[in-house]
Structure 1
Amino acid sequence: MTLTLPWVDDPFAEAMRTGRGPLWLSRADGGRVQLDVERWCAPAAGADHGLLRRCLRSDSPVLDLGCGPGRLVAELLALGVPALGVDVTRAAVARTHGLGGPALCRSVFDRLPGEGRWGAALLADGNLGIGGDPDALLRRVAELLAPEGLLFVEVEAEEIDERLTVRVEGADGRCGPPFAWARLGADATAARAAKAGLTEVERWSSHGRRFLALRHDGIGPVG
């Protein structure tokens, strides 16, 4: 029996090769959340610019976790900010390389360069859901950041805090393997981040998207 992996052996990988959707995260209860493939594969625009300006102000190299096709990495480099993308999908990493951006085909939970020394990190485009365990993910990001380093995280527009099992579904109805995912609003994210030693310093909304800036206080997880 061949092991299949989400984001690797499912319609997402094909969408990264073609730059086109539509794709959805399909829930076990029949609900679907559309993935914004065309926006991810286009140049940085809209709410991305406010996010990138804050990265500029951090005056630090940026680690983009779940970089996808690399639009944020490419734009950071164009602005003169050193950046590295990380993604588990080879097609996404290849697309980032095609834009001239450095990227590694790894999980955020794998060994990464510069652990404990990154001045800034990104979790954009729903990537707070990675692994379906936001507490574990936020603790991992805290390990990657230097003391006083900043995490810029995109959260859900509504105040939710849910863990669920989903599949990536393509336009033809084909689905990849099931995997754990999470969706959190701003309040739930700030509360869980505090337990990981990440303190909220700003929240903002732009073009229908919502974000938090969190600072690593240099202290380990609480509890």
Structure 2
Amino acid sequence: MTNFELESFITPIIISLKVAFTASIVVFLFSIPVAFIMARRRFPGKALLETVFMLPLVLPPTVVGFLLLIVLGRNSWVGQAIEWIFHQPVVFTWWAAVIAAVVVSFPLVYQTLKSGFSSVENEIENAARNSGASEWQVIRFITIPLSFKFFVSAYILGFARGLGEFGATIMIAGNIPNKTQTISTAIFLATETGDTTLVWLWIFSIVLISFIMLWIVNRSNKKD
């Protein structure tokens, strides 16, 4: 493999890892308070709101990407505001790939964290409150430790989902070499051009990374 071919092989992997890492941090931090509120509070419209949260899980990724393109494109006030603030549009940039990964991975991360918060028995938390613990102390010393394995699973699942994202990414970020080309979009292009060697190398890479991520999740879930 020449230096050019090596660079062509490695660059989409690096971009994918950067996108997945950034997106997983963003979606994880955002999902924690949302999942906590949805697990512990009752309010009108809760079922409808949760349905909206879960939509990216069942919608075709290309539909999600198209909707993001409409919301963040230059013709929308959101896209115009972003362009005014950052002096460039967000569509067809590296950050667009991050946004796509955040949106499609949110349902998995949210649902896993919600299950974690729901698994903590109210009696244990109430006992801590009756002993004089503040709400923050209950969350810090009771809720989070008892649901920690769900935190690990949520983050890794979000990372793995963002790593393999294709449909929404290619719609909003495109497939620009050395800029927005991830492993998934690179495989798509290489398949069209008949470069099966690179296709198999990328497939092996993403399968290996995803396998390791899921293995860590399974190991974490078995540690009860």
Q: Same fold (TM over 0.5)?
A: no
- Whose helix proportion is higher, 1 or 2? 2
Compare the two structures and name the one with the higher strand fraction: 1
Q: Highest CA radius of gyration, 1 or 2?
A: 2
TM-score under structure 1 length normalisation: 0.22
Structure with the bigger RCO (C-alpha within 8 Å, sep 6+) is: 2
